[in-house]
Amino acid sequence: MTDPSTHDHPARTIAKAVAASPGRAAVPIASVTATQLGEHLGLTRQRIGVLADTEHVIERLPNGRFNQDDCRLRYLRWLRDPERRSARSEAAAKHAEAKTQLLHIRIEEKQRKLVRRDDVNELIDAMCGTVLTHLSGMAARCSRDMQVRRGIDAVVDQIRREIAAACLAKADEWNEPPLNEQD
């Protein structure tokens, strides 16, 4: 799409032609303030300032006022610009998708189908701590004989290593990062 600022408005071109013809007076440009232009376009004075100074949709005249006809046509062209409209509709679609996902997560949390990972990790740590504590005290509960206790402790140690190996294999299967790399 061509830049609207590079082409003169037809009324301006006619005004230049009339001004250039001998014996005729130039057609005056409808010069209005930002407030008047805002009322004409249904916008606030501040929005007119943004369109002129920040977004460069409309142009100010050298005296700081606005050509009402030129600004109206530039504003309408800007509103109809397909690139601007498609970007806005794409952003709106992404926003709606994000809101839908958030709502889906909240519903699953309420139905207790979705739980927080930190809560699950705390529960697993507590359960593992209980099992390991009881395994460690098993030798003392089973016998007073030190030779038997050492045998039981060796079996408990072997069981703990097997449990650790099984947990690491499952973590690798699920592509879990090592503990020292987790946040």
pLDDT in tens, 151-163: 999 999 999 999 9
CATH number of the domain enclosing 27: 1.10.1660
Task: Let me know whether 76 and 86 are in one domain.
Answer: no
Model pLDDT for residues 111-138, shown as the tens digit of each residue: 888 888 888 889 988 998 999 899 888 8
Task: Let me know whether 10 and 76 are in one domain.
Answer: yes
DSSP E strands: which ranges in the chain? 31-32, 66-67
pLDDT at 179: 75
Single out the residue of 51, 45, 15 nearest to residue 30, CA to CA.
Answer: 15
As a whole number, mean pLDDT of residues 94-100 equals 92
DSSP 29: P
Q: Which two tokens stand for residue 28?
A: 């005056």
pLDDT at 73: 93
Q: How confident is the model at residue 183 (pLDDT cuts 50, 70, 90)?
A: low
| 149-162 burial: b if 16+ Cβ within 10 Å, else e | beebeeebeeeeee
Task: Let me know whether 51 and 100 are in one domain.
Answer: no
9, pLDDT greater than 90:
no
Dihedral of CA atoms 32, 34, 37, 43 in degrees, nearest 10, equals -170
Interatomic CA distance for residues 47 and 71, integer angstroms? 13
Task: Let me know whether 98 and 135 are in one domain.
Answer: no
Q: Is 44 helix (H, G, I), strand (E, B) or coil?
A: coil
Q: How confident is the model at residue 2 (pLDDT cuts 50, 70, 90)?
A: very low
Task: Let me know whether 76 and 8 are in one domain.
Answer: yes
Model pLDDT for residues 19-51, shown as the tens digit of each residue: 555 555 555 677 899 999 999 999 999 999 999
Among 80, 99, 125, which residue terminates a domain? 80
Q: Which domain holds residue 99?
A: 82-114
Most confident stretch, 65-74, 79-88, 111-120 = 65-74
Verdict on whether the full-model pTM lies above 0.85:
no
The answer to whether 134 and 141 have CB atoms below 8 angstroms apart is: no
Q: Which two tokens stand for residue 95?
A: 């926003």
Task: Let me know whether 141 and 174 are in one domain.
Answer: yes
Task: Let me know whether 135 and 183 are in one domain.
Answer: yes
Task: Let me know whether 109 and 123 are in one domain.
Answer: no
Count how many domains the chain has: 3
Task: Let me know whether 29 and 59 are in one domain.
Answer: yes
Task: Let me know whether 45 and 86 are in one domain.
Answer: no
Single out the residue of 16, 19, 20, 45 nearest to residue 32, CA to CA.
Answer: 45
Task: Let me know whether 98 and 68 are in one domain.
Answer: no
Among 23, 56, 80, which residue terminates a domain? 80
As a whole number, mean pLDDT of residues 128-150 equals 90
pLDDT at 149: 92
Task: Let me know whether 108 and 121 are in one domain.
Answer: no
For 50, residues 6+ apart whose C-beta sits below 8 A from its C-beta are none
